[in-house]
Amino acid sequence: MEEEQVIRTDLCSSGKEKPQADQLEFGRIFTDHMFLMDFTDDKGWHDPRIVPYEPLSIDPSAMVFHYGQSVFEGMKAYRTPDEDAQLFRPQRNFKRMNHSNSRLCIPPIDEAFALKALKQLIGLEKDWIPEAEGTSLYIRPFIISTEPYLGVSPSSHYKFIIILSPVGAYYKEGINPVKIAVEHEYVRTVKGGTGEAKTGGNYAASLKAQELAEDGIAQVLWLDGVDRKYIEEVGSMNVFFKIDGKVVTPALNGSILEGVTRNSVIQLLKYWNVPVEERRLSLEEVVTAHKDGKLEEAFGAGTAAVISPISQLVRGDKHLEINQGKTGTIAKRLYDTLTGIQYGKIQDPFDWIEKV
């Protein structure tokens, strides 16, 4: 068996000021240290280290700057009432990272080793996990291609990095319902593209529609790229609609990102015996259900957004109000249960929690 690599640590002595709860936005403040590891064709993944957080020095010809060969993940560390730090299903994120790696021709990481490195980093930065309700330490693992070369081919050099950011709510609305615009002109991806991989290009492709959306729109809802009829996802979260007593979410079809929160929501609904369906869902079906008074609620689910109720779907000049713009019962129950488990306030019947 290959010998496990030792994580070298180079700690900084002077800590940065920790933010006050009211200064916490999403992803603007970073902790004192980061994890790094390099890949070269001859050595594989090597030199794992925890070092002070600082700018990287990278060759301007590094392939990531030109062709976008990169992947990332998003997860969170939570502070429990006993002052412990815990993670939520981190194994699934590293598994998904390897799925994205495979699509982007990036060499796989050792998932167990990545989790060990993450725990070591969080252990060191535990004091950065904020305490206020609804806050957490956001974890951003990512891999970039660093070979200095302008040819279009998979890179032979990479960096795997993990940075940490104390965060508040992702949307400025917090857990209050958000308005979502249905996108008609642009598409995010198509089956066979990179939609089910977590790669920066998908997010770059989503910016134009977001920029054109009217003021007060939190995000856009993507339809499928071929028929432009079927609901796929909102760029930063998967979506669920409660129609006539059943919760429906678009089935994974090769262009939708498989969210860890999405999977947890489905498992919770099944556990509660709430009917849940993963299937093709057209926008027309949602509009008709609304017209017939059968669209009971809608919400998004994602690591950054947690559970985000949807108050309105906006299509051009049509505003379709859902549940009188209020948070629905299922969304509220899911939010309370998921965050209760994540923050160690309620029992975890699924074994989702990983102590640091």
Which CB atom, from 74 or from 130, has the smaller least distance to ligand COI? 74
Which CB atom, from 168 or from 302, has the smaller least distance to ligand COI? 302
Candidates 100, 206, 264, 303; binder of ligand COI (CB under 6 A) is 303
User: What one-letter code names the amino acid at 109?
Assistant: I
| SS3 of residue 142 by DSSP | strand
Give the per-residue contact string, 225-264, with ligand COI (x = CB under 6 A; - = no): -----------x----------------------------
Per CB under 6 A, the segment of 14-22, 125-133, 300-308, 337-345 that binds ligand COI is 300-308
- 4-41 burial, b at 16+ Cβ within 10 Å, e below that, comes to ebebeeeeeeeeeeebeeeebebeebbbbbbbbbbbbe
Per rule CB under 6 A, is residue 141 in the interface with ligand COI? no
Give the per-residue contact string, 69-88, with ligand COI (x = CB under 6 A; - = no): -----x--------------
Q: How many CB atoms lie within 10 A of CB 107?
A: 18
Per rule CB under 6 A, is residue 302 in the interface with ligand COI? yes
Q: Does residue 353 contact residue 340 with C-beta atoms inside 8 Å?
A: no
Q: Does residue 85 contact residue 122 with C-beta atoms inside 8 Å?
A: yes
Residue with tokens 């900084």: 12
Per CB under 6 A, the segment of 216-224, 281-289, 298-306, 308-316 that binds ligand COI is 298-306
Which CB atom, from 31 or from 236, has the smaller least distance to ligand COI? 236
Which CB atom, from 243 or from 310, has the smaller least distance to ligand COI? 310
User: What one-letter code names the amino acid at 236?
Assistant: S
What's the token pair of residue 190? 């198509």
Which CB atom, from 92 or from 290, has the smaller least distance to ligand COI? 92
Per rule CB under 6 A, is residue 304 in the interface with ligand COI? yes
Which CB atom, from 135 or from 323, has the smaller least distance to ligand COI? 135
What's the token pair of residue 141? 């693992």
3-state helix, strand, coil in the chain (%, to 5): 25, 30, 45
Which CB atom, from 243 or from 307, has the smaller least distance to ligand COI? 307
Per rule CB under 6 A, is residue 168 in the interface with ligand COI? no
- Max distance between CA atoms of the chain, in angstroms, equals 63
What's the token pair of residue 127? 């004091």
Per rule CB under 6 A, is residue 137 in the interface with ligand COI? no
Q: How far is the CB of 73 from ligand COI (least distance, A)?
A: 7
| CA 262 – CA 89 distance, rounded (Å) | 12
Q: Which residues bind ligand COI (CB under 6 A)?
A: 74, 203, 236, 302-304
